[in-house]
Amino acid sequence: MSRAEGFSTRCIHAGEAPDPTTGAHGVPLYQNVTYAFETNGQVEAMRGGERPHFTYSPRGNPTVRCFELKMADLEGTESSVALNSGMAAISGALLTLLSDGGHVVASDQLYDLTRAFLREDLPSYGGSANFVDLSDASAIEDAITTETRAIYAEPFSNPLLRVTDVRMLAEIARKNELLVIVDNTFLSPALLRPVHLGADIVIHSATKYLSGNGQVQGGVISGPRRLIERIRSRALHLGTALSPFAAWLLLAGIHSLPLRMQRHSENAFHLASVLAAHPAVEAVHYPGIESDPGHELAKSLVGPGDDRFGGMIAVSLAGGREVFGPFLDSLRLCTIAVSLGDSSTLVWPWHCGNLVRVSTGLEDFPDLEADLVQALNGVIPVAAVM
């Protein structure tokens, strides 16, 4: 864009313009796979770098390209590459950077499939990982080896919402000539732009908040052009390009991203406050409330205000796993479902312990509060009643 417009303006306009052929307002869906040349001279000009031209959709598509341009603008990076899922983005970035003997220092609290990829798959491609508490600078330094190339983090971890100081990671990385890779899915660029804090590469499962409706799957990686082009080449070999239809839906979803993230965050803040006071709840993990151990650090990352901490909450139930059934089965408005970032509230029992993850939706808060409170009232421990 021509100047530094505001974030909401860029969510709507960055990477987009009226279609040059038809004048259509809004990026068209270019669903076709192949692109024609009028002459062999055009082919040679394209091959020689004299005249850009799309050739084959897995190598580049106009709709997908507009989405990539938008994401690079929103993240403040040189380039972005869009892939067909969040895990395609995570694995594509890590394989490209680590598969020939590279090592990564990763958070010990990560999305379970990311952790499984680092433990089970990366070694078979020649890479390796250590998992450490990224709040401990000494532990990070101790884990760095001569093969280490990157530090990998989630600013608000999945599922416990542990807060990671991206600035501190960037300082350690600069000192050791490493990259900082951040999965920012939980917050989105509407709330946190990790590159502004010193990160090098930012990953999103676009399926979540970038989409906002639970109807499209995708992933995106943003960073320096020299790294993104390497990842793009790997993605071409692996066949993980984003579909044009998915990109078209994502472009539309991002238009409302700032408004949605504000509402997600406001609902989550008020809900976390209600849950923290309920006798059926043992603990609430949400960096937006003062009782959370990561609250002050979170404020330093995303800024003050109840609408800055995202929509994800983790709740430990006082009754343990035995009350999962009665609690979840009593929900009337909230949906028992995995994933997150949907317009509706999704509640999911975690696979271990007494943890329930809540992806707070965009409903009217009184309705959301009433549903969760009535479900919790049915599982209040006997000791709390006496």
**Successive 10-residue mean pLDDT values, the chain, 386 residues:** 79 94 92 94 94 92 97 98 98 96 97 97 97 97 98 98 98 98 98 98 98 96 98 96 98 98 98 98 98 97 93 98 97 97 97 95 98 97 64
> Can you name the residues that pair with 317 across neighbouring β-strands?
281
In this prediction, residue 386 carries a pLDDT of 52
Query: Looking at residue 385, what is its pLDDT?
Result: 58
CATH class of 7-255: alpha beta
Rg (Cα) of the chain, in Å, rounded? 22
Cα–Cα distance, 35 to 47 (Å, whole number): 14
Confidence (pLDDT) at 383: 57
Angle among Cα 55, 61, 66 to the nearest 5 degrees reads 140
Q: Are strands 103-107 and 148-153 parallel, antiparallel or unpaired?
A: parallel
Answer whether 7-255 and 258-385 agree in fold.
no
Cα separation, 118 vs 99, whole angstroms: 11
Name the residue ranges covered by the structural domains of the chain.
7-255, 258-385
Cα torsion 286, 291, 293, 298: sign = positive
Give residue 167's Cα distance to chain centre: 18
Tokens read off for 254 = 């991002």
User: In angstroms, rounded to a whole number, what is the distance separating the alpha carbons of residues 45 and 48?
Assistant: 5
Summarised one tens digit per residue, pLDDT across range 123-170 is 999 999 999 999 999 999 999 999 999 999 999 999 999 999 999 999
The pLDDT value recorded for residue 1 is 42
Rounded Cα–Cα distance for residues 148 and 177 (Å): 9
Q: What pLDDT shows up at residue 2?
A: 47
Please state, in angstroms and rounded to a whole number, the distance separating the CA atoms of residues 348 and 350: 6
* Tokens describing residue 3: 């100047």
**The pLDDT value given to residue 348:** 98
Closest CA to 348 of 87, 112, 109: 112
Model pLDDT, residue 3: 55
Q: How far is CA 274 from the centre of its chain?
A: 26
pLDDT digits (tens, 9 = 90+) for 250-276: 999 999 999 999 999 999 999 999 999
CATH label, 258-385, candidates 2.60.40.1180, 3.90.1150.10, 1.10.357.10, 3.40.50.740 = 3.90.1150.10
Query: Rounded to an integer, what distance in angstroms lies between the CA atom of residue 67 and that of residue 63?
Result: 7
Residue corresponding to tokens 């609290």: 109
